[in-house]
Amino acid sequence: MPDENTYTIAELADLAGVTPRTIRYYLSQGLLPSAGQSGPGTRYSESHLARLRVIRGLQAEHLPLAEIRKRLADVDDDEVVALAEQDAPAPPPDSALEYVRSVLRDTPASYGGSLLRVSMPAPAAATSTPAPTSAERLGESLHSAPKPGERSQWERIVLATDVELHIRRPLGRTQSKRVDRLVTIARELLEEDPS
């Protein structure tokens, strides 16, 4: 009798809400690790199921498979299982301004084929917090996706020439207030004289 924590490809597909063909494609694209054997008797583990659930969550955010593969590359099986089991989103940063500064300071943005690096001065009372791990960033992304069956619509907000913010609506009251605050702060930052 096979181990209860392993699944055939059909069972895995049913549990993950995908087709066996999709699983085979993900295996060929490196999104899922090999099960170690091939053929009709292949059994897949809980970590395969967890990875499929995380992939589905990231796809709900409209991330391309290449980006999902990149995000999952640094995350081990235990972290993926923990992410798949999480049901509460990570807490948002304390200040919208701090978040914008950290994004602009730490993340190079690719635009029009050129790499643009934006440097922002650190706030005067900055506290040193450890950078989030790959699993934490992945978990934050996963939990920002709308629930299955929930309708969503994208809103485009122009912050400055060539700078836009895209927001998936509907948002809760608290998130909506934070987005309004973020827009105000971002517009102020983008209007500052760089000299």
Tell me the two tokens of residue 142. 């996963």
pLDDT of residue 52: 92
Tell me the two tokens of residue 66. 């290449």
pLDDT of residue 148: 53
pLDDT of residue 140: 59
Residues of the chain with pLDDT under 50: 1-3, 87-92, 108-126
Number of neighbours of residue 31 by Cβ within 10 angstroms: 20
Q: What is the number of helices (H) and of strands (E) in the chain?
A: 8, 4
**CA-based nearest residue to 100, from 155, 179, 18, 20:** 179
pLDDT of residue 17: 87
pLDDT of residue 2: 44
Query: Hey, CA dihedral for 107, 111, 117, 119, is it positive or negative?
Result: negative
Indicate the angle between helix axes 9-16 and 20-29, nearest 10 degrees: 100
pLDDT of residue 75: 84
- Domains (range + CATH), the chain: 9-85 (1.10.1660)
* DSSP run (H or E) holding 48: helix 46-59
pLDDT of residue 22: 93
